[in-house]
Amino acid sequence: MSRKKRPDKEAYIEGVLAGDRVMLSRAITLVESKLQADRELAEEVMDALMPHTGKSFRLGITGVPGVGKSTFIGRFGKEVVSKGHKLAVLAIDPSSPSSRGSILGDKTRMGALAADPRVYVRPSATGGALGGISANTREGSLICEAAGFDFIIIETVGVGQSEVAVRHMVDAFLLLLLPGAGDELQGLKKGIVEMADILVVNKADGQSVSPAREAQRAYSQAMKLFPPKLHNFPTKVLTCSSLTGDGIERLWNELTDYWQLVYKSGYMEEERRSQRVHWAKTQITDFIELYFYAHPSIKEEMPKLLQKVREGEVATLSAARKLMELFLQN
| pLDDT tens readout for residues 263-310 | 999 999 999 999 999 989 988 988 898 899 999 999 999 999 999 999
Q: Which of 21-25, 117-121, 139-143, 219-223 is the least confident region?
A: 219-223
The pLDDT value recorded for residue 103 is 37
The pLDDT value recorded for residue 95 is 44
The pLDDT value recorded for residue 156 is 84
* Confidence check: pLDDT of 130 > 60: no
Instruction: List the CATH code of the domain at 1-52.
Output: 1.20.5.170
Distance separating alpha carbons of residues 138 and 261, to the nearest angstrom:
24
Q: Which long-range contacts (CB under 8 A, 24 or more apart) does 269-277 make?
A: 271/171, 271/231, 272/54, 272/171, 275/168, 275/169
Over residues 53-82, mean pLDDT: 93
Q: What are phi and psi of 136, to 5 degrees?
A: -120, 30
Q: Longest Cα pair distance anywhere in the chain, in angstroms?
A: 66
Distance separating alpha carbons of residues 99 and 3, to the nearest angstrom:
23
Indicate the pLDDT class of residue 102, thresholds 50, 70 and 90.
very low
> Where are the chain's structural domains?
1-52, 54-265, 279-329
Distance separating alpha carbons of residues 240 and 250, to the nearest angstrom:
9
| pLDDT tens readout for residues 132-176 | 345 588 999 999 999 999 999 998 876 554 467 788 899 999 999
Distance separating alpha carbons of residues 218 and 264, to the nearest angstrom:
31
22 backbone φψ class: left, alpha, beta (φ>0; ψ -120 to 50): alpha
Q: What is the mean pLDDT of the chain?
A: 86
Over residues 224-231, mean pLDDT: 82
| pLDDT tens readout for residues 192-213 | 788 889 999 999 999 999 999 9
Strands 151-155 and 119-125: unpaired
What's the CATH superfamily of 54-265? P-loop containing nucleotide triphosphate hydrolases (3.40.50.300)
Over residues 238-252, mean pLDDT: 96
